Structure 1
Amino acid sequence: MSPKLLPLINTRHGSRSAKTCEYRCANQCDAPTPNTSGNEEFQTLAQRAIARRAMLTGSAGAMVLAGFGAQAAAADTAHGHHPRPERNVGRASFTSVAPNRKDDVVSAEGFTHDVIIRWGDPVTKRAPRFDVHHQTPEAQAQQFGYNNDYVGIIPLDGRRALLSVNHEYTDPELMFPTGTDELLKKKIEMAAHGLAVVAIERGRAKGSWKASDPRRSRYNRRITASTPLRVDGPAAGHELLRTKADPKGTTILGTFANCSGGTTPWGTTLHGEENFHGYFDASGALDPKQADAYKRYGITGQGKGWKDVDERFDLTKTPNEANRFGWIVELDPLDPSAPPVKHTMLGRVKHEGCNVTIARDGRVVAYTGDDEKGEYIYKFVSRDRYQRSASPAARRHNKTLLSAGTLYVAKFTGDGDADGVHDGTGTWIPLASEKKSYVPGMSVAEVLVHTRVAADKVGPTRMDRPEDIEPNPVNGKIYCALTNNSDRGKKFTTDEANPLASSMTRKKLGEPLTATSGNRNGYILEVTEGRGGSCGKGYETSTDFTWDLMLICGDPAAQETYFAGFPKEHVSPISCPDNVAFDAVGNLWISTDGNQLGSNDGLFRVPTNGPERGRVQQFLTVPYGAETCGPLVSPDQLSVFTAVQHPGETDDATFEKPTSTWPHTDAFPRPSVIVSYAK
Structure 2
Amino acid sequence: MTELSDPHNDLQADLQTDLQADAGCPSCSEHAAPAVSNGRRNMLSLLPMAGHTSGKRSAVTCALKCDSACAKPVPNTSDNGYFRDIAGKALSRRHALGLAGAGAVALAVGGSGLAPAAASPGQAGALAAGGHGGRTKLPFKPITPVAATEDTFVVPQGYIWEPIIRWGDPILPGGVPFDVAAQSAAKQELAFGYNNDYTDIIVTNRAGTKALLCCNHEYVNAEIMFPPDLATEEQLKIAMAAHGFAIVELERSAPGEKWSYVPSAPKNRRITASTPFEITGPAAGSDLLKTKADPTGTVALGTIGNCSGGTTPWGTILSGEENFNGYFRADGTAPEGKRYGLSDGESSYGWEAIEPRFDARTPDYANEPNRFGYIVEIDPTDPTSTPRKHTSLGRLKHEGANVVIADSGHVVAYTGDDERFDYLYKFVSKGRYNKHNRRKNLDLLTEGDLYVARFHGDSPEAEIDGTGKLPSDGKFDGYGQWIPLVKNGRSKVSGMSVEEVLVHTRLAADKAGATKMDRCEDVQPSPTTGKVYVACTNNTDRGKDGKAGPVEPNPRNANKDGHIVEIVEDDGDHTSRVFRWNLVIVAGDPTAEGTYFAGYPKDKVSPISCPDNLAFDSEGNLWISTDGQPDSIGLCDGLFKVPLEGRERGHVQQFLSVPREAETCGPVVHDKDGSVFVAVQHPGEDGSWNDQHSQFPDYVDGTAAKGEFAGPRPSIVQVFKK
TM-score by length of 1: 0.85
- Counterpart for residue 6 of structure 2: none
> Given the alignment, which residue of 408, 419, 439 partners 1:372?
419
| 1:405 equivalenced with 2:437 (yes/no) | no
Counterpart of 1:107 in 2: which secondary structure?
Answer: coil
| 1:359 equivalenced with 2:406 (yes/no) | yes
Inter-partner Cα distance in structure 1 for 2:304 and 2:654: 31
- Counterpart for residue 57 of structure 2: 16
> Given the alignment, which residue of 180, 197, 204 partners 2:247?
197
Counterpart of 1:271 in 2: which secondary structure?
Answer: strand
Residue identity matched to 1:88: K
TM-score by length of 2: 0.80
Contact 1:287 1:319 (C-alpha < 8 Å) held by counterparts: no
Aligned pair count? 601
- Counterpart for residue 427 of structure 1: 481
- Counterpart for residue 44 of structure 2: none
Q: Deviations over 1:339-383 (max 9, x none)?
A: 110000000000000000000111100000000000000000011
| 1:629 equivalenced with 2:665 (yes/no) | yes
Q: Deviations over 1:536-575 (max 9, x none)?
A: 3xx1000000000000000110110000010111000001
> Given the alignment, which residue of 514, 522, 537 partners 2:562?
522
Counterpart of 1:562 in 2: which secondary structure?
Answer: coil
> Given the alignment, which residue of 574, 584, 600 partners 1:540?
574
Give 1:96 deviation, angstroms: 3.2
Contact 1:404 1:433 (C-alpha < 8 Å) held by counterparts: no
Counterpart of 1:16 in 2: which secondary structure?
Answer: coil
Counterpart of 1:96 in 2: which secondary structure?
Answer: coil
Give 1:495 deviation, angstroms: 6.1
Structure 1 segment 6-155 matched on structure 2, within 5 A: 12=53, 14-40=55-81, 88-89=137-138, 92-101=139-148, 102-155=150-203
Counterpart of 2:160 in 1: which secondary structure?
Answer: strand
- Counterpart for residue 525 of structure 2: 471
How has the CA–CA distance of structure 1 residues 209 and 97 changed in structure 2, closer, same or farther, with 3 Å as cutoff? farther
Give 1:183 deviation, angstroms: 1.2
- Deviates further, 396-405 or 126-135: 126-135
Contact 2:456 2:552 (C-alpha < 8 Å) held by counterparts: no
Give 1:133 deviation, angstroms: 1.2
- Deviates further, 553-562 or 148-157: 148-157
Inter-partner Cα distance in structure 2 for 1:496 and 1:464: 11
Give 1:11 deviation, angstroms: 7.0
Residue identity matched to 2:567: V
How has the CA–CA distance of structure 1 residues 555 and 45 changed in structure 2, closer, same or farther, with 3 Å as cutoff? farther
Inter-partner Cα distance in structure 2 for 1:202 and 1:45: 56
- Deviates further, 299-308 or 600-609: 299-308
Residue identity matched to 2:351: W
- Counterpart for residue 80 of structure 1: none
How has the CA–CA distance of structure 1 residues 45 and 301 changed in structure 2, closer, same or farther, with 3 Å as cutoff? farther
| 1:314 equivalenced with 2:322 (yes/no) | no
Give 1:661 deviation, angstroms: 0.9
Structure 1 segment 268-287 matched on structure 2, within 5 A: 268-282=316-330, 286=331
- Counterpart for residue 227 of structure 1: 275
Inter-partner Cα distance in structure 1 for 2:440 and 2:242: 32
Inter-partner Cα distance in structure 2 for 1:498 and 1:324: 32
Residue identity matched to 1:567: P
Give 1:99 deviation, angstroms: 3.1
Contact 2:209 2:255 (C-alpha < 8 Å) held by counterparts: no
Inter-partner Cα distance in structure 2 for 1:678 and 1:496: 44
Contact 1:97 1:107 (C-alpha < 8 Å) held by counterparts: no
Residue identity matched to 2:621: N
How has the CA–CA distance of structure 1 residues 637 and 407 changed in structure 2, closer, same or farther, with 3 Å as cutoff? farther
> Given the alignment, which residue of 409, 434, 442 partners 1:387?
434
Give 1:93 deviation, angstroms: 3.8
Give 1:12 deviation, angstroms: 4.1
Residue identity matched to 2:665: C
> Given the alignment, which residue of 288, 293, 311 partners 1:263?
311
Give 1:479 deviation, angstroms: 0.3
- Counterpart for residue 493 of structure 1: 548
| 1:247 equivalenced with 2:287 (yes/no) | no
Give 1:494 deviation, angstroms: 2.4
Inter-partner Cα distance in structure 2 for 1:366 and 1:13: 35
Structure 1 segment 638-653 matched on structure 2, within 5 A: 638-650=674-686, 653=687
How has the CA–CA distance of structure 1 residues 191 and 496 changed in structure 2, closer, same or farther, with 3 Å as cutoff? closer
| 1:672 equivalenced with 2:715 (yes/no) | yes
Inter-partner Cα distance in structure 2 for 1:572 and 1:420: 22
- Counterpart for residue 178 of structure 1: 228
Inter-partner Cα distance in structure 1 for 2:248 and 2:550: 50
Contact 2:375 2:390 (C-alpha < 8 Å) held by counterparts: yes
Counterpart of 1:636 in 2: which secondary structure?
Answer: helix
Give 1:207 deviation, angstroms: 4.5
Contact 2:136 2:619 (C-alpha < 8 Å) held by counterparts: no
> Given the alignment, which residue of 520, 538, 543 partners 1:484?
538
Q: Deviations over 1:587-619 (max 9, x none)?
A: 000000011111100000000111100000000
- Counterpart for residue 378 of structure 2: 331
How has the CA–CA distance of structure 1 residues 159 and 41 changed in structure 2, closer, same or farther, with 3 Å as cutoff? farther
Inter-partner Cα distance in structure 2 for 1:434 and 1:656: 58
Give 1:152 deviation, angstroms: 1.7
Inter-partner Cα distance in structure 2 for 1:180 and 1:46: 64
Contact 1:13 1:594 (C-alpha < 8 Å) held by counterparts: no
- Counterpart for residue 111 of structure 2: none
Counterpart of 1:460 in 2: which secondary structure?
Answer: coil
Residue identity matched to 2:225: M
How has the CA–CA distance of structure 1 residues 100 and 586 changed in structure 2, closer, same or farther, with 3 Å as cutoff? same
Inter-partner Cα distance in structure 2 for 1:496 and 1:109: 41
> Given the alignment, which residue of 186, 211, 218 partners 1:161?
211
- Counterpart for residue 396 of structure 2: 349
| 1:599 equivalenced with 2:635 (yes/no) | yes
- Counterpart for residue 69 of structure 1: none
- Counterpart for residue 296 of structure 1: 339
Give 1:501 deviation, angstroms: 4.7
Contact 1:137 1:191 (C-alpha < 8 Å) held by counterparts: yes
Q: Deviations over 1:434-478 (max 9, x none)?
A: 620000111111100000000000101000000000100011100
- Stretches of structure 1 that go unaligned for 5 or more consecutive residues are 1-7, 49-82, 503-517
| 1:452 equivalenced with 2:506 (yes/no) | yes
Give 1:182 deviation, angstroms: 1.3
Q: Deviations over 1:147-189 (max 9, x none)?
A: 0000022221121111110100011101101132111111110
Inter-partner Cα distance in structure 1 for 2:696 and 2:87: 42
Inter-partner Cα distance in structure 2 for 1:630 and 1:499: 25
Contact 2:403 2:413 (C-alpha < 8 Å) held by counterparts: yes
Give 1:413 deviation, angstroms: 0.3
Inter-partner Cα distance in structure 2 for 1:330 and 1:497: 35
Contact 1:16 1:593 (C-alpha < 8 Å) held by counterparts: no
How has the CA–CA distance of structure 1 residues 644 and 261 changed in structure 2, closer, same or farther, with 3 Å as cutoff? same
- Stretches of structure 2 that go unaligned for 5 or more consecutive residues are 1-48, 89-132, 460-470, 699-707
Residue identity matched to 2:589: D
Structure 1 segment 575-594 matched on structure 2, within 5 A: 575-594=609-628
Contact 1:626 1:648 (C-alpha < 8 Å) held by counterparts: yes
Counterpart of 2:171 in 1: which secondary structure?
Answer: coil
How has the CA–CA distance of structure 1 residues 445 and 659 changed in structure 2, closer, same or farther, with 3 Å as cutoff? same
Give 1:433 deviation, angstroms: 3.4
Inter-partner Cα distance in structure 2 for 1:548 and 1:672: 35
Inter-partner Cα distance in structure 2 for 1:234 and 1:218: 34
- Counterpart for residue 119 of structure 2: none
Identical-residue share of aligned pairs (%): 52
Inter-partner Cα distance in structure 2 for 1:528 and 1:261: 22
What RMSD over aligned residues (CA atoms) do the two structures have, in Å? 2.3
